[in-house]
Amino acid sequence: MKIFSFKNLGKLALWGGSTAAILGVVALVGVSIYVVQVTEDLPNHEQLREYEPPVMSRMHAGDGLLIAEYAFERRVFVPIDAIPPQVLNAFLAAEDRNFYDHSGVDLMGMTRAAISNVGNIMRGRRLEGGSTITQQVAKNFLLSSEQRIARKVQEIVLAMRMERAFTKDRILELYLNEIFLGNRAYGVAAAALNYFDASLDELELHEIAYLAALPKAPNNYHPERRTEAAIARRNWVLSRMAANGFITEAQAREAQAQPLETTRRLQGDTYLAAEYFVEEVRRELFGMYGEEQLYSGGLSVRTSLDTQAQLAARQALRAGLLEYDRRYGYRGGLAQLEDFDDWPGQLAEIDAPRDMDDGWTIAVVLEVNDGEALIGTVDRARGRVPLSELRWARRPSRSSSSNFPVLGPAISRAGDVLEMGDVILVQRLNEEEDNYALRQMPEVNGAVMALDPYTGRVLAMVGGYSFQHSQFNRATQARRQPGSAFKPFVYAAALDNGFTPASIVLDAPFAATGGADMRFYRPSNYSDRFYGPSTIRLGLELSRNVMTVRLAQDTGMAPVVDYATRFGIYDRLDPVLAMSLGAGETTLWRLMSAYGALVNGGRRVEPTLIDRVQDREGRTIFVHDQRECIGCDVEEWSSDVREPELDELGEDVVDPVTAYQVVSMLEGAVRRGTGSALNALGRPVAGKTGTTNEFRDAWFVGFTPDLVVGVYVGFDTPAPLGSGEAGGRAAAPIARDTFAPILENYPVAPFRVPDGVRLVPIDARSGEPSVLGRPGVILEAFRPGTEPVRGASREDETLTFGRGRERDGDEDAEADDGGVLSGIY
For helices 656-671 and 487-495, what crossing angle results, to 10°? Answer: 140
3-class secondary-structure state, position 230: helix
Angle formed at CA 257 by CA 255 and CA 261, multiple of 5 degrees:
80
Q: Do the Cβ atoms of 173 and 80 come closer than 8 Å? A: yes
Q: Report the alpha-carbon distance of residue 475 to residue 456 in Å, rounded.
A: 15
> Over 347-386, what HEC string results?
HHCCCCCCCCCCCEEEEEEEEECCCEEEEEECCCCEEEEE
> Over 701-742, what HEC string results?
EEEECCEEEEEEEECCCCCCCCCCCCHHHHCHHHHHHHHHHH
Q: Report the alpha-carbon distance of residue 769 to residue 758 in Å, rounded.
A: 13
Position 632, amino acid: C
3-class secondary-structure state, position 282: helix
Best CA proximity match to 156, nearest among 118, 102, 100: 102
User: Which 8-state DSSP code applies to residue 769?
Assistant: B
Helices (H) and strands (E) in the chain, counts: 23, 29
Which strand (E) or helix (H) includes residue 621? strand 620-623
CB atoms within 10 A of CB 44: 10
Which strand (E) or helix (H) includes residue 30? helix 6-39
User: Which 8-state DSSP code applies to residue 438?
Assistant: E
CA 628 to chain CA mean position, Å: 31
3-class secondary-structure state, position 161: helix
Burial group, residue 430, by CB count within 10 angstroms (0-12, 13-18, 19+): exposed
Which strand (E) or helix (H) includes residue 33? helix 6-39
Q: Report the alpha-carbon distance of residue 824 to residue 512 in Å, rounded.
A: 10
Q: Report the alpha-carbon distance of residue 558 to residue 578 in Å, rounded.
A: 13
CA 560 to chain CA mean position, Å: 35
- Reply yes or no on whether 780 is catalytic: no
Q: Do the Cβ atoms of 347 and 423 come closer than 8 Å? A: yes
Position 14, amino acid: L
3-state helix vs strand vs coil in the chain, percent to 5: 40, 15, 45
- Reply yes or no on whether 95 is catalytic: yes
Look at strands 57-60 and 300-303 and give their pairing.
parallel
For helices 85-95 and 227-243, what crossing angle results, to 10°? Answer: 100
| Catalytic residue (choose from 69, 95, 275, 725) | 95
Which residues, 6+ apart, have CB-to-CB distance to 588 below 8 Å?
A: 447, 449, 474, 475, 476, 478, 699, 710, 711, 712
Which residues, 6+ apart, have CB-to-CB distance to 748 below 8 Å?
A: 683, 684
Q: Largest alpha-carbon pair distance within the chain?
A: 159
| Catalytic residue (choose from 57, 131, 466, 484) | 484
Which residues, 6+ apart, have CB-to-CB distance to 478 below 8 Å?
A: 447, 472, 587, 588, 712, 714, 716
Q: Do the Cβ atoms of 265 and 453 come closer than 8 Å? A: no
DSSP string, 126-152: PPP----HHHHHHHHHHS-----HHHH
Residues classed as catalytic: 95, 484
